[in-house]
Structure 1
Amino acid sequence: MNPFELLLVEDDADVRDTTRLILERHGFAVRTAADGTEGYALASACPPALAVVDVSMPGMDGLTLTRRLREELSTPVVLLTARDLNVDVVAGLEAGADDYVVKPFDGAVLVARIRAVLRRAHPGSAEPVRLGDLLIDRDAMTIHRGEEEVQVSATEFRLLMLLLDHRPAVLSRTQILRHVWGDSSWGTGRVVDVNIQRLRAKLGTPAIVTVRGAGYKVVDR
């Protein structure tokens, strides 16, 4: 599993879309749900590294969803709440939330809170990764060859981390589309191929291998 894949559960479509874009710009892969029931189903089918959950939702509310995610799936949760009253904060924490952010929130604050929870929930996951002569820093989203930084886009960085986290397994184009772009119906395998080609050119390494008829994988070379 990509350690930076998040589940965003928010019933307000505008807030949901805006928050998803903020998180994706910071390198996260994001799946979204419009209510607690849908969010629970998505998390059960493919547990995320962390869930960002709105408190006030129709049907299964955020506190109930948080409790189920923590007790049944051990999923870390950051709550989004429109109120910062002590009683609401206490209720959220007692439900198992790891942290909370009050709306309207600053995107940088939300991202910082998420990364802090991820570091606690997945110790060691943010350690720099080596691939040949490249040093990859997850938190900073940087890649260095010696003192020189290799410039890649946020999408290319997510793509690289996905392949690294699954090595030496082969990932299909459909799997890559779902994890990197959030929806396997978003585009075609050509989108994956083009981004792989760009990433290879920027990294200057043969470590990303094409497996004909299957997909891509990373090997240590």
Structure 2
Amino acid sequence: MKHILLADDNAPIRALLRYALTKEGYRIYEAQDGTEAVRLLGLEPIDLAILDIMMPGMDGYDLCEYIRSNYDIPIIMLTALDQLSDKEQGYLRGTDDYMTKPFEPEEMVFRVKALFRRYNRTSSDIIRMNRIIIDRKNFEVTDGESVIFLPLREFELLSQLAQYPGRLFSRDELITLVWGADFEGDDRTVNVHIKRLRQRFADYGEDFAIQTVRGVGYKIEVKTK
């Protein structure tokens, strides 16, 4: 199931989109401003974002730029701003598509599906954390100059965390996602592998950090350059 973030301070617009997209099998997360959207991005595995521009606090332009800098997901701007200069600004900030209000919910569904198709074709299995580049397809990690060799489980653990920067994963979640639901060990295995990853990437603290949330689990924070 694909997860979609709706960031719009207009509750009726969110309700309309929620109804149309839920019918298509998507799971919807709603934010009424950019700050709440950033929080949800850190908590949930969002696959696509639909953003209004004129929101209180962090507006849609800044939110779009934040997402493009930290996540590899498609973005649609949905706004009443219909001037060419507004659209230019949206695309310069990183949006993949731009729709103006008023709109037909069915058209939004078409565009979401088209973006997912396009993104699935063109988006490679590459995760970037500044100098660190993770190639999930070829099981390879590089710093732009040399290859950093990792055992398979460490590679999969790093990839899982890096795919959703800022999102907190519990130890039980990581066990299931990396080792499988039938793993018979305990969560100390995760702790050991996290310690090894920190040691291997000790010289890359300016690029990213694996953070511990005591009693819960781990998350990756990608440093802003």
TM (norm. structure 1) is 0.54
Counterpart amino acid of residue 75 in structure 1: I
Q: Percent identity, please.
A: 36
Query: Residues 163-174 of structure 1 correspond to what in structure 2 (within 5 A)?
Result: none
Q: Give the CA deviation at 1:83.
A: 2.1
Asked if the contact 2:34–2:55 (Cα under 8 Å) also holds between the matched residues in 1, the reply is yes
Task: Give how far 1:73 is off.
Answer: 1.2
Matched letter for residue 35 of structure 2: T
Alpha carbons 2:3, 2:45 under 8 Å: kept: no
Measure the CA separation in 2 of the matches of 1:57 and 1:10. 7
Find the aligned partners of 1:121 and 1:35 in 2 and give their Cα distance: 26
Q: Do residues 123 (structure 1) and 87 (structure 2) align?
A: no
User: Whole-Å Cα distance in 1 between the matches of residues 122 and 60 of structure 2?
Assistant: 29
Q: Does 1:97 align with 2:110?
A: no
Q: What is the aligned partner in structure 1 of residue 30 from structure 2?
A: 32
Q: Which residue number corresponds to residue 107 of structure 2?
A: 109
Looking at structure 1, the residues matched to 117 and 53 of structure 2 have their Cα atoms a distance apart, in angstroms, of 23
Cα deviation for residue 47 of structure 1 reads: 3.2
User: Which runs of 4 or more aligned residues in structure 1 lie more than 6 Å from their structure 2 counterparts after TM superposition?
Assistant: none
The residue aligned with 2:42 is: 44
Partner of 1:160: none
Bigger drift between 24-33 and 49-58 goes to 24-33
Q: Tell me how far apart the structure 2 counterparts of residues 23 and 93 of structure 1 sit (CA, whole Å).
A: 24
What residue is the counterpart of 1:150 in the other structure? none
Aligned partners of 2:73, 2:41: CA distance in 1, in Å? 9
Q: Measure the CA separation in 1 of the matches of 2:70 and 2:23.
A: 30
1:147-166 aligned within 5 A:
none
**1:169–1:103 distance in 2 versus 1, CA, 3 Å:** farther
**Helix, strand or coil: the match of 1:101?**
strand
What SS does the aligned partner of 2:81 have?
coil
1:18 paired residue number:
16
Q: What is the CA distance between 1:116 and its match in structure 2?
A: 1.1
C-alpha distance in 2 between matches for 1:12 and 1:102: 14
SS of the residue corresponding to residue 75 of structure 1 reads: coil
1:204 aligned partner: none
Match of 1:56 in 2: 54
Aligned residues: 127
Structure with the bigger RCO (C-alpha within 8 Å, sep 6+) is 1
Structure 2: gaps of 5 or more residues: 124-176, 182-225
Deviations 1:170-205 (A, max 9, x none): 6xxxxxxxxxxxxxxxxxxxxxxxxxxxxxxxxxxx
- Which deviations, in whole Å up to 9, do the C-alpha atoms of 1:122-160 show, x marking residues without a partner? 2399xxxxxxxxxxxxxxxxxxxxxxxxxxxxxxxxxxx
Q: Do the aligned partners of residues 91 and 124 (structure 1) sit closer, same or farther apart at CA in structure 2, a change above 3 Å counting? A: closer
Long gaps (5+) in structure 1: 126-165, 171-221
Asked whether the equivalents of residues 80 and 101 of structure 1 are also in contact (C-alpha less than 8 Å), the reply is yes
Q: Secondary structure at the match of 1:123?
A: helix
CA–CA separation in structure 1 for the residues paired with 2:73 and 2:102: 24
Structure 1: how far apart are the matches of 2:109 and 2:44? 22
The aligned amino acid for 1:7 is L
Shift of 1:75: 2.2
How far apart in 1 are the matches of 2:95 and 2:42?
18
CA distance in 1, matches of 2:67, 2:114: 19
2:49–2:76 Cα contact (<8 Å) kept: yes
Over aligned residue pairs, what C-alpha RMSD do you find? 2.0
